[in-house]
Structure 1
C-alpha cells in the first residue's frame, strides 16, 4: 500500500479503488445555523463516484459499489477531460422540463450496454459534484472541506456541463431561500457541512434537511401475482440498491396490478429474470423486474432492526 496522499500503482491514492466508501449524512428536523457551516442543495438523483485513471480509463461507481460506467457513456466521456488521478463524489441527475426526473435517472442506470447510448442521447445526464477526494493522484480527503471546495470549483469550472459543482453558500438566509424555492426544480432539501471537516467514507458527519419525511421512489419490480402484487421493489434517490416495501394495502395491490399490467417499452431487457431482493427475517426473495417507469410516494422509517419502506400512493394517471 502506498503512503497516504501519494498515488499507488493504479494512479489513485491508496483506499480510493472501488468500492469507494462515500461520506454520509444524518437527517435533522431544522436548519443548522452557526459559524463555519456550508449549505448545498440536495438533488434527487443517484449517488456516483467518478474515478479518472491514467490513460483513457474512467470508472463510474454507484453508492452500492456497483460499477455503472457502461450505463452512462456520456458522463464517462466527459470525465476523460479530468486530470488523471482525480476522484469526485456527487449526484447524477437527468433534467426534464426544468426539473430533475428520478425515474429518468433510474432508467439510465438500469440500461443495458446496448441501449445505453440511445438513452444517453434521449435523456442526457448531468453530474452535480459536491466533493473532490483526489486530484492528480494526490489524496485530498484529509483536507478541510473549504479547501476541497476551492479545488472542486477550480477543477470543474473550465470544463462546464455535464460535470459541474453543486451551488454552495455559507449564508444561512440564502440557504433558506434555496430550501423554500428550489423544490419546483426537484431539489429535495439541503446538505450542511462544516467548513473544517475532512472527508470520511462511511461516517455520517454531514447533515441533511428534507422538506418532508416522504420521498418519490421508482418501482423496479414486484413480488406476488402480477394482477395483485403483494409488495413492490423500489429504488430511492441517492441509493441504487433495490429495496422491498412492506406489504401493500389491498387498494394499492389492485392499483399496482393495473399500473404494471401492460408490458412497457424496454421490457425485452428483463427476459430470463432471476432477480432477488433481501427481505429482513426472510433472506433473498425472488421478484419480477419491470421497466423503471412507475413512481411511488413512500415513507422510509426505521425500527431497531431494519429500515421499513411503506408505499403511500402510486403516481399514476388514474
Structure 2
C-alpha cells in the first residue's frame, strides 16, 4: 500500500437505511485522518492525502501503541467541556506547529477509529468485507492493549439502537450516523457508505475565491454533482479563516465557471458544508468549514 491512500466516502441521505447485514456507527464531528504505523514512527494523512502529522502529534505518539505495518482509518476529534467540538478540531487542523502544541496541552485529541486498511500479518485488507475488517480491527486493538486516546467507534446492526444513538448522542457532539453494508469492501474515492445527519447539509470542496486573498468575498466550491458554484458573501470569521489558508496555498490563477463567472482558482485541502437546499442554485449557503 502506497502513501497516500484514497479513502472511502459517504453519500448523504435523508432517511435511515435499513436492511439485512447493515451496520450503523455514530458519526463523530471531527477531522478525517488515516493513521500509518511505520517501522519507525506514525504518520497521519487527511482524506485529501496531505501529511498533517505535525499538528496531530499527540495522536501520532499514541499510535506508537500499534504494531508496525498497520494502517487505520478514523476521525480525529477534540473534546471541550465533555462535548465533541468541531471548532476545536478545526483550530487544530489549521494551526501552526507551535500553536498545535499549545492546543494539544489544553485539549488533547482522540482518535475514533472505524476501519483497518492494512494489517502486519494479513497485508492490505481493503478487499475484505466490512464485517471481517471490523472483527480484525477489534482483535488488533485488544491483542496489543491499545487504549485511549485511540478507541474504536461503536457499531451495531440493531436499527432501534442506532435510532437511539442518533437522538441521544447529539448533545455530546455526535452529528449523525454512518451506515455500511456488512459484505462491502473498502473502495477509495467511492461514496459507498451512507450518512444521515441532523443538519441537512452536503460537503463541497473549495476550489477558489473572489476578491482579494487577504479578504475573500465569496468561495468557489465544487458540489457533489461536479458543478462549481459561488457561496453567499462570507462573514468576517469565515473570511478570516479562509484568508489564513490562502496565505499558504500558493499563487492563484484566474479561471471561469461554466456560466462564465470569473474567480481565482487555488489548490486547497479544504471542505465546507453547504445547505443542501441551496445546491440547485448558482449561489450556495456555506454553514462552516469541515
Q: Give TM-score, length-normalised by structure 2.
A: 0.78
Superposition deviation, residue 49 in structure 1: 0.6
- The C-alpha deviation readout for 1:114-157, integer Å capped at 9, x for no partner, is 33222211221111111001111512112221111112122224
What secondary structure sits across from 2:50 in the alignment? coil
The match for 2:146 is 159
Check if 1:299 corresponds to 2:275: yes
CA contact 2:111–2:150 (8 Å) conserved in 1: yes
Q: Do the aligned partners of residues 227 and 126 (structure 1) sit closer, same or farther apart at CA in structure 2, a change above 3 Å counting?
A: closer
CA contact 2:213–2:246 (8 Å) conserved in 1: no
Check if 1:91 corresponds to 2:75: yes
Q: Where has structure 1 moved over 6 Å in runs of 4 or more?
A: 225-228, 269-273
Where in structure 2 are there 5+ consecutive unaligned residues? 222-227
Where in structure 1 are there 5+ consecutive unaligned residues? 1-15, 235-243, 290-295
Check if 1:199 corresponds to 2:175: no
CA distance in 1, matches of 2:63, 2:94: 20
Q: Do the aligned partners of residues 297 and 200 (structure 1) sit closer, same or farther apart at CA in structure 2, a change above 3 Å counting?
A: closer
- The C-alpha deviation readout for 1:209-241, integer Å capped at 9, x for no partner, is 122313799x9x97537998622589xxxxxxx
Q: Do the aligned partners of residues 196 and 226 (structure 1) sit closer, same or farther apart at CA in structure 2, a change above 3 Å counting?
A: closer
Check if 1:17 corresponds to 2:2: yes
Q: 1:210 aligns with which of 166, 182, 197?
A: 197
CA distance in 2, matches of 1:155, 1:62: 23
Superposition deviation, residue 28 in structure 1: 1.9
The match for 1:190 is 177
Superposition deviation, residue 23 in structure 1: 0.9
CA distance in 1, matches of 2:180, 2:154: 13
What secondary structure sits across from 1:19 in the alignment? coil
CA distance in 1, matches of 2:211, 2:49: 29
**1:104-253 pair list within 5 angstroms:** 104-136=88-120, 138-157=123-142, 158-214=145-201, 223-224=210-211, 230-231=217-218, 246-248=230-232
CA distance in 1, matches of 2:85, 2:256: 28
Check if 1:285 corresponds to 2:264: yes
CA distance in 2, matches of 1:227, 1:48: 29
Q: Do the aligned partners of residues 142 and 273 (structure 1) sit closer, same or farther apart at CA in structure 2, a change above 3 Å counting?
A: closer
The match for 1:311 is 285
CA distance in 1, matches of 2:11, 2:203: 19
Check if 1:46 corresponds to 2:20: no
CA contact 2:25–2:178 (8 Å) conserved in 1: yes
Q: Do the aligned partners of residues 109 and 274 (structure 1) sit closer, same or farther apart at CA in structure 2, a change above 3 Å counting?
A: same
CA distance in 1, matches of 2:83, 2:162: 19
**What is the alpha-carbon root mean square deviation over aligned residues?**
3.9
What secondary structure sits across from 2:59 in the alignment? helix
